[in-house]
Chains A and B, each alone.
Chain A
């Protein structure tokens, strides 16, 4: 099974900050990686697929990069509505999620 590890688990930041979340796969997954945002009490929302392709309607401040085993999600200028938990997901072999990164207000 492919394991996904995110870091950090908690990220404290201020509005306007540039933030980066890292996701590492236990083996190469090419670019078969997605990122999701989840707010309290809500279902996850797909932000990015194939490592760097943004879903239609997702603000341009969200970007993804990486391939193989190391990936990043960057929010270029954090907005109040971006405080949430972010999950990566590999879909190279079935589906496995990272443990999540909580972006909280500093």
Chain B
């Protein structure tokens, strides 16, 4: 069964940092681009970042460029998102998704909630 399992969310103070992780199973991880999509409470979906299957190419939404770093460890079938200089507007459920920014997202994880508050 194809599955994505996120972890690493939590409550963090403004200006703080977090590293989110997404462990994949059920498919050949390094064959596929992976992405992060977030959803603020009660709001719509926002694509955040994507990384190629090899990890050599990364893409970011303008709203997060410079503060977020996407990466992957294909030996561990795991996708990461390092989020720095967190602000209240970053409060959201962060979903890991199989697929690229120039493609559809065909499999999604259950999401991990990041809350930025003092």
A-side residues, CB < 8 A to B, are 1, 34, 36, 38, 42-46, 49, 55, 87, 89, 91-100
Contacts and interface: CB of A to CB of B under 8 A. Distances in A.
A36 B59 CA distance: 22
B103 A91 contact: yes
Interface stretch (B8-16, B23-31, B73-81, B108-116): B108-116
B61 interface: yes
Given A87-B44, A94-B59, A43 B109 contact: yes
B interface, size bucket = 20 to 34
A43 B44 contact: no
Interface in B69-118: 95, 101-106, 108-111
Contacts of B45: 36, 38, 44, 87, 89, 97, 100
Given A34-B104, A46-B104, A91-B102, A96 B109 contact: no
A77 to B, nearest CB: 25
B47 interface: yes
Contacts of A99: 44
Residues of B contacting A: mostly: loop
A97 B44 contact: yes
Contact of A94 (B61, B106, B110, B111): B61
Nearest to A38: B45
Nearest to A42: B110
Nearest to A55: B106
Contacts of A34: 104-105
A98 B47 CA distance: 11
A9 to B, nearest CB: 10
Contacts of A95: 35, 37, 47, 50, 101-102, 105
The 8 closest A-B pairs by CB, nearest first: A43-B108, A95-B47, A97-B45, A94-B101, A34-B104, A95-B101, A49-B104, A100-B44
